[in-house]
């Protein structure tokens, strides 16, 4: 006696007879290969590309996008990519041209297009030291950390969507549907974080070792006080000024990221009777991590 066909098999036969196609996830071989600079970008591209893309990340966990140099295996894998999603981090200035040399057919997409970058402001004491005690205006280098602001990620998402649709127009509707879902997620995250800081009042200053959170601070009306600027540690005099400033503002926490040394941060934390807390701007689980960091900032502003 023959076994009865499974429900799935019967369903497939019925759909075939009715002329209805049943979507299967794209196989690994059929996925469009793309590359990104940092882990948060993988999150963004995955949200829009879904199972249709195979994403390689250049800056590996624990490394800094300011100084990263791709491994030979990564350069070989890059030859398979159809798109490279850039974001404007420092290592791209040197390596994007080399990536194009390795794979001339690869499309370079600047996901930062349409975003006006803000200067990475120095703490006031640093400018005074360099100008013999007089305060001066300083524009600074442009801040690359645009992925830490949900409103700015919405703009990056549009650039990602357009690139995927141009390269793979057959799946345009899938990309558009995924994009709309991602924008909804971003709007909801933005509202959650805005509500979190709604009753902050006058307490808006938080201290960080590396000034990665400028766009986040701007989005939610906060002020970040950086210890390190433009890759330079503070001078002994600058360090003392930071300590005095922290005491004046009632700051008890110095936020550091895993990719940088915590020595100066530990010195300040000890001097102000506080402690160091990790806040990673390069975590892959971007939305969950951003909300976690927001709550950490909120805790120190109480």
Whether 211 is covered by a domain: the verdict is: yes
Question: In this structure, are 40 and 175 located in the same domain?
Answer: yes
Question: In this structure, are 38 and 179 located in the same domain?
Answer: yes
Domain count across the chain? 2
Question: In this structure, are 294 and 278 located in the same domain?
Answer: yes
Who contacts 267 (Cβ-Cβ below 8 Å, separation ≥6)?
Answer: 239
Question: In this structure, are 254 and 138 located in the same domain?
Answer: no
User: pTM here?
Assistant: 0.84
CATH number at residue 184: 3.40.50.1980
Q: What is the pLDDT of residue 302?
A: 66
End-of-domain residue from the set 143, 176, 192: 192
Whether 243 is covered by a domain: the verdict is: yes
Whether 11 is covered by a domain: the verdict is: no
Question: In this structure, are 154 and 181 located in the same domain?
Answer: yes
pLDDT tens per residue across span 67-86: 899 999 999 999 999 999 99
pLDDT tens per residue across span 229-253: 766 778 888 888 889 988 888 899 9
Per-residue pLDDT of the chain (302 residues), as tens digits, is: 444 444 444 444 444 444 444 444 555 568 999 999 999 999 999 999 999 999 999 998 888 898 899 999 999 999 999 999 999 999 999 999 999 999 999 999 999 999 999 988 654 444 434 344 443 344 568 899 999 999 999 999 999 999 999 999 999 999 999 999 999 999 999 999 999 999 887 778 999 988 999 999 999 999 999 988 766 778 888 888 889 988 888 899 999 988 777 777 888 899 999 999 999 999 999 999 999 999 999 998 86
End-of-domain residue from the set 192, 215, 245: 192
Whether 52 is covered by a domain: the verdict is: yes
Q: What is the pLDDT of residue 254?
A: 92
Question: In this structure, are 187 and 85 located in the same domain?
Answer: yes
Reference 84, options 115, 41, 48; nearest CA is 41
Matching residue, tokens 């010195």: 267
Question: In this structure, are 179 and 204 located in the same domain?
Answer: no
Q: What is the pLDDT of residue 202?
A: 75
End-of-domain residue from the set 168, 192, 216: 192
Question: In this structure, are 66 and 92 located in the same domain?
Answer: yes
Q: Which domain holds residue 247?
A: 199-300
**In this structure, are strands 107-110 and 83-86 parallel, antiparallel, or unpaired?**
parallel
Who contacts 32 (Cβ-Cβ below 8 Å, separation ≥6)?
Answer: 49, 52, 53, 54, 82, 83, 164, 167, 168
Compute the half-sphere exposure of residue 149: CA atoms within 13 Å on the CB side of its CA. 24
Question: In this structure, are 62 and 162 located in the same domain?
Answer: yes
Question: In this structure, are 155 and 292 located in the same domain?
Answer: no
pLDDT tens per residue across span 142-162: 899 999 999 999 999 999 999
Question: In this structure, are 249 and 207 located in the same domain?
Answer: yes
Which alpha helices (H) appear in the chain, and where do they start and end? 7-17, 39-49, 72-78, 90-102, 124-130, 150-167, 172-196, 214-219, 236-249, 263-271, 286-300
Question: In this structure, are 165 and 206 located in the same domain?
Answer: no
Q: What is the pLDDT of residue 113?
A: 97
Q: What is the pLDDT of residue 17?
A: 43
**Exposure pattern of 137-148 as b/e (b: 16+ CB <10 Å)?**
eeeeeebbbbbb
């Amino acid at each position: 006696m023959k076994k009865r066909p499974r429900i799935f098999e019967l369903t497939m036969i019925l759909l075939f007879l009715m002329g209805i196609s049943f979507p299967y996830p794209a196989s690994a071989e059929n996925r469009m290969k793309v590359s990104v600079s940092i882990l948060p970008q993988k999150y963004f591209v995955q949200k829009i590309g879904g199972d249709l893309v195979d994403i390689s990340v250049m800056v590996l966990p624990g490394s800094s996008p300011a100084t990263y140099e791709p491994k030979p295996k990564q350069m070989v894998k890059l030859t398979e990519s159809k798109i490279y999603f850039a974001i404007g981090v420092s290592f791209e200035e040197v390596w994007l041209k080399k990536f194009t040399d390795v794979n001339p057919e690869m499309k370079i997409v600047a996901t930062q297009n349409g975003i006006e970058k803000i200067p990475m402001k120095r703490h006031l004491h640093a400018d005074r030291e360099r100008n013999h005690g007089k305060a001066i205006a300083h524009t600074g280098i442009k801040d690359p950390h645009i992925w830490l602001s949900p409103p700015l990620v919405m703009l990056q998402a549009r650039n990602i969507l357009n690139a995927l649709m141009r390269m793979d127009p057959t799946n345009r509707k899938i990309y558009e549907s995924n994009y709309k879902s991602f924008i909804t997620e971003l709007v909801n995250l933005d509202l959650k974080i805005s509500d979190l800081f709604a009753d902050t009042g006058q307490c808006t200053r938080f201290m960080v070792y590396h000034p990665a959170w400028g766009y986040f601070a701007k989005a939610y009306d906060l002020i970040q006080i950086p210890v390190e600027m433009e890759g330079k540690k503070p001078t002994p005099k600058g360090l003392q000024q930071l300590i005095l400033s922290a005491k004046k503002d009632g700051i008890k926490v110095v936020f550091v990221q895993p990719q940088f040394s915590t020595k100066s941060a530990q010195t300040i934390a000890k001097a102000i009777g506080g402690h160091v807390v990790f806040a990673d701007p390069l975590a892959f689980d971007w939305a969950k991590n951003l909300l976690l960091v927001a709550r950490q900032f909120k805790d120190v502003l109480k």
